[in-house]
Structure 1
Amino acid sequence: MGQSKLLASIVIGATVGAALSMFDRTTREKTVATTKKVTSAVSYYAANRGELQGLIEEKVLAAQVLCESVTDNVNMVAEKVDEFKELPSTIQGMISDTKSAFSSPSKE
């Protein structure tokens, strides 16, 4: 019972807030312009469903390409991290080799 009052209060508050914001001229003008633009787009795509489907397919394809690219980049970064993990042992080996080369007596 309490939850239904909460939901109703939220809806009423949002409605009152929207109504009060309409007292501002620029807000009204932007709202009307946006509503006209959205209505026009909805009407256009309702009449041209094939074009809407093509647009959606393009966006899905672009998202797939982006996802593949991100996956490739993540894999490359993971490989580089693995290389950096091996780097200290390689450096340690080089230091040991250099140290032994300079510390061993030379035979000349």
Structure 2
Amino acid sequence: MSGNKLGKYIFFGALAGGLISLCDRATREDVVNKSRSFMSDVRYYSKNPDVVKLKLQEKSEKYQSIYEQVANDATYFKGKMDELKELSPQVKELVVDTKDAFTEAKDDYKAMVSEDSTSDSTGK
């Protein structure tokens, strides 16, 4: 029972708020102008239903083309992600090989430097 009262009170509150807001002259004039414009549009489209049909077709075609573009972009990005997944192990292997080569070269350079320093101290 209280649910019925809640809905009724919300409706009356909205109605009272609307009536109070119409006390402002600018709001009242705006509501009148928009109502006239709306009624004018209703009369025009009721006399010219082909215009409504044409506008709906244009909107439908526009949204269809947007959908197709998004679908194509998604397919493209999916392909690129798959390509990246395939390349990732190869790139990882390349990075590991490069790191190993630098580590080996570093060890070789250390050995060379240590040999030079020991031969310098013994040779003098």
- Deviations for 1:28-54, whole angstroms, at most 9, x for unmatched residues? 121111111111111100010111111
Structure 1 unmatched ranges of 5 or more: none
State the partner residue of 2:42. Answer: 42
Q: Distance in 1 between matches of 2:85 and 2:25?
A: 62
Q: State the match for 2:118 in structure 1.
A: none
Match of residue 71 from structure 1: 71
Name whichever of 74-83 and 31-40 sits farther off: 74-83
Q: Which amino acid aligns with 1:31?
A: V
Matched residue, 2:59: 59
State the number of aligned residues: 105
Cα deviation, residue 93, structure 1: 2.3
Larger relative contact order, structure 1 or 2 (CA cutoff 8 Å, min sep 6): 1
Q: Deviations over 1:77-100 (max 9, x none)?
A: 222333333343122122244456
Q: Which residue of 1 is the match for residue 16 of structure 2?
A: 16
Task: State the TM-score, normalized to the length of structure 2.
Answer: 0.71
Structure 1 Cα separation of the partners of residues 101 and 55 of structure 2: 67
Shift of residue 27, structure 1, vs aligned partner:
1.2
Percent of paired sites with the same residue: 34
Give, in whole Å, the separation in 1 of the partners of 2:17 and 2:66: 39
Q: Tell me, in whole angstroms, the C-alpha distance in 2 between the residues paired with 1:85 and 1:24.
A: 64
Deviation at 1:10, TM superposition (A): 1.5
Aligned to 1:30: 30
Larger radius of gyration, structure 1 or 2? 2
> What's the counterpart of residue 80 of structure 1?
80
Q: Which runs of 5+ in 2 are unaligned?
A: 106-124
Compute the TM-score of the two structures, normalised by the length of structure 1. 0.79
- The structure that is helix-richer by fraction is 2
More moved, 17-26 vs 81-90: 81-90
Q: Distance in 1 between matches of 2:87 and 2:33?
A: 60
